[in-house]
Amino acid sequence: MKNKMRIQKILIGLLSVVIAVIVFGTFLGRTQTITVFKIKKDGIDLNKDVADQTDFWTTDTILKADADKMPGVVTNIAQLQHKKLIVMLKTGSPILLDALTDEDGGGSFAKTLPEYHTVHKIKDGPLLLPPGTSAGDLIDVAVSVEEKSGTQDPSLTTGMLLHNVKVYSMDKDYVYIQLTQQEALLLSNAEKYGTIILQLPGVMKTIQCTDVEKTAKKEALDYGKNLKKDHPEMTETKANDLATDFFNATKEKYNTSCLSDSDKGTSVTKQDVINIIKNNQISSVPAPTDNSATNSTDNSATKSTDNTKK
C-alpha cells in the first residue's frame, strides 16, 4: 500500500514538472521577441545592394510566435549583405529571404525567371516612359517600321507589338523587360528594322462609352432617392434640381474616361496620319476682297472731294 502511494506521488511530481515546463515554454514563446526587417518607403533600387539602402528599410520588434508564422523573414543585417531585391515590396512589408538574390552570384539571375522566359534590355527606355515608372509596372511595346517599294516613297506603319510586359528593372540608360523567349526574338527583329515605342497603359476599370448615359441616369436616380430619404424636408423641386446636377456631373466624369473600341491600338500607316492631318486642317482666314479695297479708295476720294469743296 505504501509502495503504491509512493509511486503515485512520484508520478504526480513528474506530471507537475512536465506541466510546468509546458506552461513556461508557452509563456516564453508568447513573450519572446525578435527583430525583423521591413520596407520603410517606396523607391528602393532593385539593382543595388539592399543593405546599403538604409533609407528604404527599417527594423521592427515582434513576437517570435508571430515571426514563426511568416515564411522566412530577414532577421539580421547579414542576410541583406550583397543581396538585392527581385521584386518591389510594398511599404510596411517584411523583407522575405525568397525575395532576395545574390548581387553577383552566378546563376542567381536565371533562378528568378520562369522556364522559357528571359529579360530584354531597351536602350534609352527610361526616356520613352513617364517619370515614376518602376520595376513591376506593366507596359506596352509598339514599333514603327518603314517599308520601301520600288521607286515609290517609303511607307511608314506603326502598330502594337507586345501588351502588358513586366518591367523587370530600370537604370539610368536601360529598361529591362521580362519576356518569353519568342517575344524576345520578335522584339529583337523589331529593333533592327524599326523604331521602338514604349507606353504605360492605363489599368483603371471603366465603362463603355455607349453605356455612359444609362449609367449616369441610374446613379442620378439612386442619388435622388437617397436625398429624399435623408432629407424629407427637402422640396421635390430642389431634390430634382440636385439630381439633375448630379447626372450632368456624373455623365461628364464618365465621358472623360469611358472606353471605346476605337481607343485600342491598331496598325497606323503613313497615309492614315496624312489623312487625319488633312481632315483636321484649320481653315485659312480669307484675304480682303477687291471690293473692300475699292470701297476704301472710294471713301478716301469722297473725303478729299468734300475737303476741296470746303
Residues pairing with 155 in the sheet: 147
Topology of the domain covering 31-109: Type Iii Antifreeze Protein Isoform Hplc 12 (3.90.1210)
Q: Note whether 167 and 176 are within 8 A (CB).
A: yes
Q: What is the pLDDT of residue 277?
A: 65
pTM value > 0.75: no
Residue 306 banded pLDDT, cuts 50, 70, 90: very low
Quick check: 301 pLDDT over 80?
Answer: no
Q: What is the pLDDT of residue 43?
A: 84
Q: What is the pLDDT of residue 179?
A: 92
Numbered ranges of CATH 3.90.1210.10 in the chain? 31-109
Q: What is the pLDDT of residue 284?
A: 42
Residue 106 banded pLDDT, cuts 50, 70, 90: very low
Residue that is written with C-alpha cell 513617364 in the block: 130
Quick check: 304 pLDDT over 60?
Answer: no
Determine the average pLDDT of the residues in 53-61: 91
Determine the average pLDDT of the residues in 65-82: 82
- Tens of pLDDT, residues 151-203: 777 788 888 889 889 988 888 888 999 999 999 999 998 898 889 999 888 76
Residue 309 banded pLDDT, cuts 50, 70, 90: very low
